[in-house]
Structure 1
Amino acid sequence: MAKIIPFKAVRPTRDKVSLVAARSYQTYTLEERESRMGYNPFSFLHIINPGYKYHKAISGKERYNLVRNRYLEFKEDGIFTQDEKPSYYVYKIVNREGHVFSGIVAAASSEDYEKDIIKKHEDTIEYRENVFKDYLKTVGFNAEPVLLTYPDNTIIANIISEVQKDRSEYEFTTTYRDTHYLWKLDDPELVNQISSAFEKIETIYIADGHHRSASSCLLSKDLKSENDTHTGNEPYNYFMSYLIPESDLRIHEFNRLVKDLNGLTKEAFLIKLDTMYRIENRGHSLYKPTRKHHFSMYLDGEFYSLFLRKSNYEFSDALEALDTQILYKTILRPILGILDVRNDTRIDYSHGKNDLITIKNKVDSGEFQVGFGLVPITVEEIKAIADSNLTMPPKSTFIEPKLRSGVTIYEF
């Protein structure tokens, strides 16, 4: 049922791909961006931050137009070239821990997104959807794939494995010590096999990139309404995605840090917690929870284990069984007074790739008063939320792989 098609990617030349590829813009500090752009004229950051050339911060429509100009300049200078035939792109990442992600970069259908064949598990913010839609409409390309996941499929896995026996088109290692590989797959027979295999998959899930998916869908509607000869086959009916099997996903937890105890003393706070949790003081020993509905807490120089008293909590649906929701409903909202976990400045998050020492250090420094550790959410929980048309609380998952921008570019 899923329509996943090949496309003619715009890509860096083999000799420059490692110089072009960039992390998501927001992940760089100002100092990192300045350094990378100052020493690397080929970085994709020059395209998405065109104000650097004029030593000026530029935003809105003016920035979008300049992004378009920088992109065209990269094409004119031969840094980017477009493939002649629609292709799938087998993409493998081996991260510094040795975990391997293997999947396919392809174009996914916006209509499938609308019809809930491609399912989501996070809320999106309308303002951000429209801002990115306007950006895409002006620049005319997308350079960062949405991460989609599908049930493990033998046919697709065998093709990916066979393709990877040949020399890759790209092989480069980042400063994060992740190694990236790309193979172009344009053999008609294999293309048809992959397309047919995806058509037999009933549901695909968004792992990361909910706003990009929503914005691409809005763009599709806009351009469709402006095109009197719309056929449904135009590139704007699709968005670039990286599709990997569910078994390849790595999901980390997002731990919580809170700046104060909402006016409570330590003792009063612990007494309130006792209603919903069995509490054990673990002292100075680092305690990391290993089971669902168990949490770690760091408070006043000591670790605690919190075991949910299940008889006092109602597991009414997939959302209510989610640990991030349980923490919100039993501690953050009723005891610590945090109603809006997305916007309240008293709460912050640390993803699980950072260890518990991060929480300990931030509490010990006085920046926060209490920290909570969680276990990672599973693929099955993500699917249960999406299948029930529910949405997770913000910062419920930190999902890998994280792709680089500028390696494959989708034009519409």
Structure 2
Amino acid sequence: MSTAGIHAGWDAAEERHRALTPPLHTASAYAQPSHAAMRALFARRAEGFAYSRSGNPTTAVLEQRITALEGGIAAIAVASGQAATTIALCALAAPGGHVVASSRLYGGTIELLDDTLADFGVTCTFVDPWDLDAWEAAFTGSTRAALVESIANPGAQLVDLPALSARAHARGVPVVVDSTLATPALYRPGDHGADVVVHSATKYLCGHGTAMAGLIVDTGRFDPRRCPARWPRLTTPSRRFGVTFAHEYDRGGSGMLAHARAQYVTDFGTALPAASAQQILVGIETLDLRMRRISADARTLALRLADRPEVRRVEHPAVPGRPDAHLAARDFPHGTAGVFSLDLAGGEAAAEAFCDALQLWSLAVNIGDARSLVCHPATTTHSHLTETQRAHCGVGPGTVRLSVGLEDLEDLWADLAQALAVAASRQEPARAA
């Protein structure tokens, strides 16, 4: 993993000046040697770069690197994690398809499924990620994808992906896994049955809060030709592009991603800027080291918090009583990342006091930074959901999400401890009878 994170997708010997790191290509357009060469690019008879809205040499290195890290066959880099999820689901389910999704997802993903994709005719059924029978019962003849997070945000719940994938594949349904929190350093969804992996590379892959990016990886398990009637846009000649995208699989590529790039990345204008791609590439070089350190420190902090009287509950796979503890032991030998949540006994008033009292932890809605971050999901990341939806996500008035960074462990604990002491003096006002 460490070797691929540094070298995959780039060979200094092939670069004109033998640069050890990929150059930053800021050009918006690329000159072609002839009219015939330009025509071949647009007719999809040749590979290359014409306009950076569809691809860029710097982002291409990032795509090759994440493909190698995830053990996939192809990848697309886009402007954000939300764009990655949107494009992956559009490529599989739009128009008019059905998605079955975990009820424990990042709030923005739930809003995407419940609101925006509904405008594209995509319907969604949310189910408990631990209830395999509920997943199977939700699948219909129009289901085009199952969506789950490898480590849920914010409660760090884990999913039995091999079991879920077996149920979905038996019904011909591809499995899409948002693996933002795990990253390939801790978990490769394709090794456990996933067909498509998406990342918000803004988080741990970048690692320093300096760039926005999203990634979509085809693991090579999905082939729409096994059920061509479900994916006619991939398995029949495209009216617009004049090709059958599924033929890409015969050349070792991804028909799904070829379609996604040609149509959705280009039409939605979600191309990743080259400068952002370069930032993500630099972050990935230290990914393996960072994830092991952060995971270990998060586990220690979660266990300490679970023993504090001010804390009603800590949601982390290492805390005794978690039903997914066996999955952590089986599938996550190097840890479960640094994002988890706690519920304060004093409700929202205590959560507000706790957040405001922190001095080293920064109050921000990002995660996966080198800096430790904290936020109150009910009034930020999950604030636009209904109360029922928040409850399904494990988000209550007293829930606080922590994202452990790379600061000294004892410094982080000292700050949490003093903030808990402040929170202990605050209680949610009693409701009138």
The TM-score with structure 1 as length reference comes to 0.27
Structure possessing the higher radius of gyration over alpha carbons: 1
Higher strand share: 1
